[in-house]
Amino acid sequence: QAFLSQHIGDLENLEAYTHFQKTIGHLERIFETTPELVVHDLHPRYLSTEWAKAQSSVTTLGVQHHHAHLAACMAENKLSAPVIGLIMDGTGYGTDGTIWGGEVLVGDYAKALRFAHFEPMPLPGGDAAIKAPWRIAVSYLYKAFGETMPDLRLLQENDALPIIEMVRRKINSLMTSSLGRLFDAVATLSGGRPTIRYEGQAAIEFMQKADGLDVPPFDFDIIQAQGSRQLPVSQLIRGVAEAVKNGEPISRLSSRFHRTLIDLFKKIANEARQETGIRDVVLSGGVFQNMILFEGLIPALEKEGFRVFTHREVPTNDGGLSLGQVLIGREYLATRYEGVIS
């Protein structure tokens, strides 16, 4: 059995961090147990990671964020055989030190192969860009077009040149494969808000603008680059920019983008099945709180002959991550753990 605590929140908040520590002590007392292993996220600067590593009397294990998402969905659905995982969110520390967030994994609790991922793009200013998605849009436009960027309203209304220079000179520009950040870029490029009050606001409002899925997708090709499959970002940005120049309304742009993601995920899932023979797909990560994507993708995959598993009781976002972490920890104690192969 696995017992999850109540939601605690962002540990950067002192009150939440204190509550986090008290909750651990409370669970140890009521279950009359002490941990044999403490599992934490791979991110070296998370407060939860620092807390775990400070527990000198117990073994600790760092687990890759998206592997934990995959394991959480497997556990909730009582799966044991390897699955294809479409794991889509905003931020997760990768085994290569970059920020992941648009991952296609193939694996189980013991190990996972990074089968494909979104094309890595620069995130100028790191966390500052998350609060100002216009920065992400400018960065992605520059990477997609180079010096021939189209003269869009987004560039006219914001101070784009410093952002372009940061990306050009690779100054404070972490690389990310995040679908959450791609949503931010496309939302702002399509006419959505340039700054936000909370993470995901631009993407949520962009989703709400969609008017059905009976629209043509943007062109896309899965890329073979650096020894792995990459889901296109630059190509999608060029398609969206062209549609914006042609005057397509934000409602149609949103519908087309969602349609494209569904078709793209269907194609990469088929490639994974052809290579592995696996037909079970798990969906996890905060992006799948997007009901248009979620409700459109499931029947599209099922029509292709996949069995699709999702979260029903455990949150699909990071609120459910600990369940996956503890199941991976069990594999580690059984000496079966191999981690993520990228």
What pLDDT score does 56 carry?
87
pLDDT at 227 over 80: no
Query: Exposure string (b/e) for 206-227, b if CB count within 10 Å is 16 or more?
Result: bbebbeebebebbebeebeeee
For residue 87, what are the β-bridge partners?
103, 284
In this prediction, residue 155 has a pLDDT band, given cuts at 50, 70 and 90, of confident
What pLDDT score does 178 carry?
98
What pLDDT score does 213 carry?
97
Number of domains in the chain: 1
Residue 277, CA distances (Å) to 128, 166, 192 in order: 42, 44, 41
Per residue, what are the HEC states of the chain? CCCCCCCCCCCCCHHHHHHHHHHHHHHHHHCCCCCCEEEEECCCCCHHHHHHHCCCCCEEEEECHHHHHHHHHHHHCCCCCCEEEEEEEEEEECCCCCEEEEEEEEECCCEEEEEEEECCEEEECCHHHHHCHHHHHHHHHHHHHHHHCCCCHHHHHCCHHHHHHHHHHCCCEEEECCHHHHHHHHHHHCCCCCCCCCCCHHHHHHHHHCCCCCCCCCCCCCEEECCEEEECCHHHHHHHHHHHHCCCCHHHHHHHHHHHHHHHHHHHHHHHHHHHCCCEEEEECHHHHCHHHHHHHHHHHHHCCCEEECCCCCCCCHHHHHHHHHHHHHHHHCCCCCEEEC
User: How confident is the model over 136-152, as pLDDT tens digits?
Assistant: 999 999 999 999 998 88
For residues 218 and 239, the answer to whether their CB atoms sit within 8 Å is: yes
Q: Is residue 84 part of a domain?
A: yes
For residues 167 and 173, the answer to whether their CB atoms sit within 8 Å is: yes
Q: Is residue 32 part of a domain?
A: no
Q: Is residue 174 part of a domain?
A: yes
What pLDDT score does 9 carry?
86
Q: Is residue 300 part of a domain?
A: yes
Structural domain harbouring 305:
79-314
241 CB-contact burial (10 Å; exposed 0-12 / middle 13-18 / buried 19+): buried
What is the arithmetic mean of pLDDT over 36-48? 96
pLDDT at 312 over 80: yes
Q: Is residue 121 part of a domain?
A: yes
Q: Is residue 252 part of a domain?
A: yes
Q: Is residue 193 part of a domain?
A: yes
Furthest-apart CA pair in the chain: how many Å? 65
pLDDT at 228 over 90: no
User: How confident is the model over 202-222, as pLDDT tens digits?
Assistant: 999 999 999 999 999 999 999
pTM: 0.96
What pLDDT score does 308 carry?
99
Q: Is residue 13 part of a domain?
A: no
User: How confident is the model over 240-265, as pLDDT tens digits?
Assistant: 999 999 999 999 999 999 999 999 99
Instruction: Provide, rounded to the nearest whole percent, the portion of the chain with pLDDT above 70.
Output: 100
Question: Locate tokens 């600990």: which residue?
Answer: 322
CATH code for position 126: 3.30.420.40
Cα dihedral 157, 139, 129, 103 in deg (nearest 10): 140
